[in-house]
């Protein structure tokens, strides 16, 4: 436990101060999570953090550093930390939760998911996203990276809920006449022009489904558009052993090499799953500066395998945690991934030092943000967005909470049930466990009605 400030405060005025027993910041010396005792976070009118650190340091800065003390002070107790970031999700699939359980990935898609998704309408996606946002915000997830169709309705749901999204509209050749993708790419380019607005919490990228759905040339074409737009390129990669072998049999090389030869890594790439990479594949990702979205619970539920996170991190590849879709998880609770990731890393390597609690927390906050190209999120420091969650520490599962043991408590005993309050850009969206920005009863009703309709249409 340390009592040094994480970084110098901004000169901008603060309008709100949050006080807590503990504040989780990004250490200035190694950018890893660091706990500060008797801390505070000052937030400006623009929704960004002005200062974060020990209260006495912030007070000294207010009186001697040219900053006025905030107009409003909330003495919250507990622990303040960055909002969690879900690096790979298909959230509207809440309407398909648990579909096809027990099927391998290819049959799960063709027999379970796609028949129901083929009957989805835009309003279904809106309500599926809304009920998913209720689940995520209640668990302290303030940003998600979505790969899905119905992008207009998804960003509408996010804006209404007061959350954030990296919306990467999907390109699925199997759903397009003749497998032709050019028209869909034009739609996404136009969507990027009209909706990409980081100041309002909407980031837009491109999401080709996979190299087993699209051709290498199509993947390369989409990458050039993403590169030219400075946008994220979000793709499923090496999720199952069967998928890996299929691509090798078809093209004579791994999917990662096929994408590299197609020029995909000229864009900023986020590879979802990346379970069956070999050392050469990992080196290709690392050299390209690509990142990986690690979805341990979905990978286990589908029997896909265990991603080599220790080797990925050792290669210098950024890894963010994701839930995948609620049809294959079946939860959007990132705390479960936060616990599973280090357990799997330690168990598969037979090394209890393979992944520390600090690294796991980074994979849900700072490293997840970096994986998505969001350097002003996932951290409590001046200039970053004030996306903040409060953890209730007065619970047997988080006791005694001595020193840096509290980091281990958060990772291995943490849970969505400990999230009491959530702010997005300084706006409170969850207060004492109650969602303020979503009519939860209506969202639940709509999701049940629409989910049943999609299921019954096929029966």
Residue 263 pLDDT exceeds 70: yes
As a whole number of angstroms, the distance between CA 296 and CA 345 comes to 10
184 with 171: CB under 8 angstroms? yes
**Average of per-residue pLDDT across 356-376:** 96
pTM listed for this prediction? 0.95
Give the pLDDT confidence score for residue 3 in this predicted structure. Answer: 37
Task: Output the pLDDT for position 228.
Answer: 97
Query: In the structure, what pLDDT confidence band is assigned to residue 261 with cuts at 50, 70 and 90?
Result: very high
pLDDT given at position 59: 87
CA distance 308 to 184: 34
Quick check: 6 pLDDT over 50?
no
The mean predicted confidence, pLDDT, of the chain is: 93
Q: Is the distance from CB of 33 to CB of 406 less than 8 angstroms? A: no
Domains present along the chain, CATH in parentheses? 16-82+379-434 (2.30.40.10), 84-371 (3.20.20.140)
Residue 18 pLDDT exceeds 80: yes
- Please say if the pLDDT value at position 2 is more than 70: no
Spatial distance between the Cα atoms of 263 and 273, rounded to a whole number of angstroms: 20
Q: Which residue has the higher pLDDT, 459 or 445?
A: 445
Has residue 142 got a pLDDT over 90?
Answer: yes
Q: Provide the percentage of residues in the chain whose pLDDT is more than 70.
A: 95
Over range 306-316, report the average pLDDT. 97
Q: What is the mean pLDDT of the segment spanning 224-241?
A: 97
Residue 195 has pLDDT above 90, yes or no: yes
pLDDT at 200 (0 to 100): 95
Confidence at 320, pLDDT banded by 50, 70, 90: very high
pLDDT value for 104? 85
CA quadruple 80, 90, 106, 453: dihedral sign: positive
Residue 42 confidence class, pLDDT cut points 50, 70, 90: very high
* Mean pLDDT, residues 204-230: 97
Residue 60 pLDDT level (bands cut at 50, 70, 90): confident
């Amino acid at each position: 436990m340390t009592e040094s400030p994480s970084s110098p405060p901004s000169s901008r005025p603060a309008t709100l101060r949050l006080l807590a027993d503990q504040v989780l910041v990004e250490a200035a010396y190694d950018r890893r999570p660091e706990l500060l005792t008797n801390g505070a976070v000052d937030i400006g009118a623009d929704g960004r953090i002005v200062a974060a650190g020990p209260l006495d340091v912030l007070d000294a800065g207010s009186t001697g550093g040219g900053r006025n003390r905030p107009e409003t002070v909330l003495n919250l107790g507990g622990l303040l930390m960055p909002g969690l970031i879900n690096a790979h999700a298909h959230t509207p699939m809440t309407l398909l939760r648990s579909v096809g359980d027990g099927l391998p990935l290819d049959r799960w898609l063709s027999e379970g998911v796609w028949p129901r998704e083929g009957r989805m309408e835009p309003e279904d996606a809106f309500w599926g996203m809304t009920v998913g946002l209720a689940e995520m915000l209640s668990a302290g997830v303030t940003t998600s990276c979505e790969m899905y169709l119905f992008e207009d309705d998804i960003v509408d749901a996010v804006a209404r809920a007061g959350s954030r999204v990296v919306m990467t509209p999907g390109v699925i050749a199997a759903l397009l006449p003749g497998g032709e993708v050019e028209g869909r790419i034009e739609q996404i380019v136009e969507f990027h022009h009209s909706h990409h607005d980081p100041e309002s919490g909407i980031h837009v990228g491109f999401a080709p489904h996979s190299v087993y759905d699209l051709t290498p040339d199509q993947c390369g074409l989409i990458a050039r558009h993403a590169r030219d737009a400075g946008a994220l390129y979000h793709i499923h990669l090496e999720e199952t052993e069967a998928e890996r072998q299929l691509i090798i049999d078809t093209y004579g090389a791994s999917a990662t090499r096929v994408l590299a030869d197609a020029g995909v890594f000229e864009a900023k790439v986020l590879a979802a799953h990346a379970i069956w990479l070999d050392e050469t594949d990992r080196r290709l990702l690392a050299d390209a500066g690509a990142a990986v979205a690690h979805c341990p619970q979905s990978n286990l539920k589908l029997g896909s395998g265990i991603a080599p996170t220790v080797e990925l991190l050792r290669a210098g590849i950024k890894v963010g945690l994701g839930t995948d879709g609620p049809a294959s998880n079946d939860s959007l609770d990132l705390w479960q991934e936060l616990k599973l990731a280090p357990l799997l890393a330690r168990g598969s390597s037979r090394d209890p030092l393979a992944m520390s609690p600090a690294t796991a927390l980074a994979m849900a906050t700072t490293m997840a943000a970096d994986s998505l190209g969001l350097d002003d999120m996932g951290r409590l420091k001046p200039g970053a967005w004030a996306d903040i969650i409060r953890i209730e520490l007065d619970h047997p599962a988080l006791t005694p909470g001595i020193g840096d043991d509290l980091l281990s408590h958060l990772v291995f005993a943490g849970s969505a049930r400990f999230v009491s309050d959530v702010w997005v850009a300084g706006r409170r969206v969850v207060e004492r466990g109650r969602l303020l920005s979503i009519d939860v009863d209506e969202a639940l009703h709509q999701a049940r009605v629409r989910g049943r309709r999609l299921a019954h249409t096929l029966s």
